[in-house]
Structure 1
Amino acid sequence: MHETRWRPLLADAALALGVAAAGAAGSWTTADDMGGYGLVPHTAVEVACGAALILRRSRPASVTLGIAAACLAGGVPLALPFAVYALASRVRDPRLLWGIAALTVLAAGWVATRSDPSWVTAPPEPASGWTATGSDQDGSPLQHLAAAGSMVAAPLLLGLYVRARRDLAAREGDTRVERARTEERARLAREMHDVVTHRVSLMVLQAGTLRLRAQAERVPPEEVASTAEQIRQTGSQALDELRAVVGVLRSGDVLERVPLAPPPALPDLRTLVEENRSAGVEVDLVETGEPVETPPPVGRTAYRIVQEALTNARKHAPGAPVAVEVATGPERIRLRVANGPAPAAARHDPLPGGGAGLLGLRERVALVGGTLRAAPVPSGGYEVRAELPVHGGAP
């Protein structure tokens, strides 16, 4: 970080030193043409203008105006094109930019129309209109002004091009950041949905079971205490997971992730099944195949599939038995969660649902390269089938 901060300053210092040295050398090589007149002052101006380039990033307008004013001493310093480039690439106010550029062209054109522009550092070319000296100088003032404009135009256009490319890259970077924020918000929405629907529905089911038993018969105090403890633990887990998600939202930037408590990996589906059994759901878990080591995204997705399917079974088919089947292979993991129809005598207060659970599952499964199918079965129940690659990508 420290090294990166110093790189621009070192680059500007090297440029300033190089241009100052080249400008001074140019003044000395044209000493014969000047007849020695003004050699020392002109060399000093070249060195000063070159040294001023060290401020080209922080003070581009001031540097360009200063070097343009130096033209009034009788020549165009070698540092002028570098200053114009910095002006175009740094100054965003169009009035300031084009005003200084026009003054620079006028200053350079004034040098061209003088009777003895002998210390123009850049070697004059026959086609540039800068070759005439003395009173026999060829070309009208407008021609010399056009030549000055062409000399300024090249660094000006290059600076505008570089600034446009830099702005485009910044906008693309902002777009990528915003896309990442959107994806992270969607991830957080899925996490909050999973936490709320799974934990809260368990609590409702546990409380409803206790209520029904209390209405039908006298419930032993120890059973009431056990059920209340289950509800307390479920609520505590829900709060912990919600705090983690809300912590991300409060950070002000969803890209600054607060570590979320990861759901159990694929081999720990038994824990999820036991939670549902303790709430009174009849769940049968069948696992086949050799255990495989799955990357966290695949294990997390598999866990969420089973969790959401069990939550939906509790919500829409209370009292119905649920079968969970997991088949693992070297390349694919196959999941099936099916529930039968709810018993006609089953009483339940339906939980609200926004229909986002299966949509979130489809997004998760697609991100790891798997497939998902969820549909009613002819027997009246519902079935969720998923197939996940063992080495899927991260959602």
Structure 2
Amino acid sequence: MPDYGVFDDFSCGARRAKAQGKSFALARTLGAMTVTGADQEATGLTSRGWWWWERRRSAVLDVSLGVFSALECALEGVNFAGDAGIAVPAGVVLGLVAGASLVLRRRWPIAVVLVSIAVTPASMGFLLSVVGLYTLAASDVPRRITAALAGMSVAGTFIVTFVRMHQSVARGDYDPGLWYVPLVSVVMSLGITGPPLLYGLYIGARRRLMESLRERADSLERELSLLADRAEERAEWARTEERTRIAREMHDVVAHRVSLMVVHAAALQAVARKDPEKAVRNAALVGDMGRQALTELREMLGVLRADQQSVAVRLDPVPLAAVGAAAAAAAAAVEEGPCLADIEALVGQSREAGMVVELLVQGEARGCDALVEQTAYRVVQEALTNVHKHAAGAKVRVRLAYRAAEVAMQVENGPADGVTADAGLPSGGNGLVGMRERVLALGGVFVSGVTEEGGFRVSAVLPDASE
């Protein structure tokens, strides 16, 4: 008998997979830096109402940066207007427009960096340049465009710094040397553009890594869900299969013995007054068959209890020896079941019940696999039981053939003689189905049908791996 603990493990595995999938989804949701639709509704955030911002805090941050940048550029525009010889309001307006462009940094980062490069000669837009380069490096803009704009920003800052430093040195009373102005210009240009650019590259790489991990988490969650569904299907299939096997075993054990008991009881009733000695023999046979049926039922129930103990032991990791004992008990039950050598006794029981049975054995008898011998025995047993039920008084021929790497059996009966009284045995209609399932489960061939003489024939061939 199979181990029921395995099927319970299927169910436990399905529940664990579902629990892990829920935990994984919860952790992913808490750790993800995204906003769900419910959060958007709660905060009043919509893509149409807030343009391109995904969060309200992002919009507040960008607007705040734009205001500070506009004020900075406006103050610097006053000095630029004096140096360039234009009206101060014009310089202020230019600074306000240039600085306010920082609000667009998430939507058009390239345009913001271009504006910062354009106002570099006017010595304005320090915040605009730093934040613009950071946003450009952190965005999904192609790297060649980022490198080109960063190079333009470094070059523009270097040129402006070089010119201003050269003018300052020329107006001074000291000579620092030819290396001073270029070195300071390089340090200033790299110091202004380098840190925001590198930090933006780091943030962009981190964001892409988080997105890839989030996608992987979604994929794992889907896989866990599929595995959980598949485990539930396998567990349900295993339970159904096991119920079918138990029903088949109970049918084979009970139906044949009880059928013979009913036949002998009918014979006992018929001869009780005419032949008391024969009645006594029939009564003894009924008692023997009842005891045999009880013995087989006890063996089957013992295997079921051993399997249940195996399930209980699996919940406790300590007594591993009990698991081995339960498995050994189940294996012993298979080994101690009926075998091919018991077919002769099986035929003898039917003869004692009044059936005319002929047993023919072809080939040299040998020991086969335990499951093969049990299946062959059950097929013959069920075929004889069907004769008792449906063809009372018919002659039966049982053939058993030992072939190379296989065992064949055939039970054929003629039509009912019409004289023997029908015992009135009920039929569930599952006998042939059970025989076919047993044979096909071992990779054998099963054929049954009505003969030309009006009888019935059951044939089966089982592969014997022990050969």
How high is the TM-score relative to the length of structure 1? 0.60
* Structure 2 equivalent of residue 98 of structure 1: 29
Of the three residues 388, 391, 394, the one matched with 1:320 is 394
Q: Please list, as runs of the form range in 1=range in 2, the aligned pairs for 1:116-127 lying within 5 A after superposition.
A: 127=137
Distance 2:30 2:409 in 1: 70
C-alpha deviations, 1:9-38, integer Å up to 9, x for none?
xxxxxxxxxxxxxxxxxxxxxxxxxxxxxx
C-alpha deviations, 1:110-161, integer Å up to 9, x for none?
9xx9x9xxxxxxxx9x9447x998899658x999987764343233333333
1:234 is aligned to 2:325: no
| AA at the equivalent of 2:249 | E
Cα 1:210–1:168 change in 2 (3 A) is same
1:303 is aligned to 2:358: no
C-alpha deviations, 1:215-267, integer Å up to 9, x for none?
5x1413xx444332321221222233334445666789799687356542223
* Structure 1 equivalent of residue 185 of structure 2: none
Distance 1:240 1:289 in 2: 32
Distance 1:233 1:133 in 2: 104
Cα 1:147–1:286 change in 2 (3 A) is closer
CA contact (8 A) 1:292 1:330 kept: no
Structure 1 gap segments, 5+ residues each: 1-86, 116-123
Cα 1:369–1:91 change in 2 (3 A) is closer
> SS in structure 2 opposite 1:373?
strand
* Structure 2 equivalent of residue 153 of structure 1: 211
Distance 2:225 2:309 in 1: 25
Of the three residues 271, 274, 292, the one matched with 2:366 is 292
Q: Please list, as runs of the form range in 1=range in 2, the aligned pairs for 1:23-172 lying within 5 A after superposition.
A: 90-93=23-26, 97-102=28-33, 127-128=137-138, 138=196, 149-172=207-230
C-alpha deviations, 1:287-311, integer Å up to 9, x for none?
1111233212221221111111110
| AA at the equivalent of 2:25 | R
Cα 1:351–1:98 change in 2 (3 A) is same
C-alpha deviations, 1:341-373, integer Å up to 9, x for none?
222221123211021101111122222222222
Size of the aligned set, in residue pairs, is 287
CA contact (8 A) 1:181 1:254 kept: no
Cα 1:273–1:255 change in 2 (3 A) is farther
CA contact (8 A) 1:298 1:390 kept: yes
Distance 1:165 1:283 in 2: 59
Cα 1:100–1:288 change in 2 (3 A) is closer
Distance 2:432 2:309 in 1: 24
* Structure 2 equivalent of residue 195 of structure 1: 253
Distance 1:134 1:151 in 2: 27
Distance 1:143 1:234 in 2: 87
* Structure 2 equivalent of residue 373 of structure 1: 447
* Structure 2 equivalent of residue 185 of structure 1: 243
Distance 2:430 2:293 in 1: 19
Distance 2:264 2:244 in 1: 30
* Structure 2 equivalent of residue 264 of structure 1: 338
* Structure 2 equivalent of residue 73 of structure 1: none
Displacement of 1:377 in angstroms is 2.1
Cα 1:254–1:352 change in 2 (3 A) is farther
Moved more, 96-105 or 383-392: 96-105
- Structure with bigger RCO (C-alpha 8 Å, 6+ apart): 2
| AA at the equivalent of 1:229 | A
Cα 1:255–1:388 change in 2 (3 A) is farther
Of the three residues 239, 246, 269, the one matched with 1:211 is 269
Distance 1:281 1:193 in 2: 21
Displacement of 1:201 in angstroms is 0.2
Structure 2 gap segments, 5+ residues each: 1-19, 36-53, 66-125, 127-133, 140-149, 151-189, 312-326
* Structure 2 equivalent of residue 355 of structure 1: 429
C-alpha deviations, 1:19-70, integer Å up to 9, x for none?
xxxxxxxxxxxxxxxxxxxxxxxxxxxxxxxxxxxxxxxxxxxxxxxxxxxx
How high is the TM-score relative to the length of structure 2? 0.52
* Structure 1 equivalent of residue 169 of structure 2: none
Displacement of 1:329 in angstroms is 1.5
Distance 2:447 2:193 in 1: 92
Q: Give aligned-pair identity as a percent.
A: 35
Displacement of 1:376 in angstroms is 2.1
Cα 1:214–1:180 change in 2 (3 A) is same
Distance 2:396 2:191 in 1: 100
Give the number of the structure whose residues are more often helix, by fraction: 2
CA contact (8 A) 2:137 2:200 kept: no
CA contact (8 A) 1:194 1:304 kept: yes
> SS in structure 2 opposite 1:383?
strand
CA contact (8 A) 1:89 1:162 kept: no
* Structure 2 equivalent of residue 19 of structure 1: none
Of the three residues 231, 238, 242, the one matched with 1:173 is 231
| AA at the equivalent of 1:333 | V
> SS in structure 2 opposite 1:102?
coil
> SS in structure 2 opposite 1:291?
coil
CA contact (8 A) 1:181 1:255 kept: no
Displacement of 1:271 in angstroms is 1.7
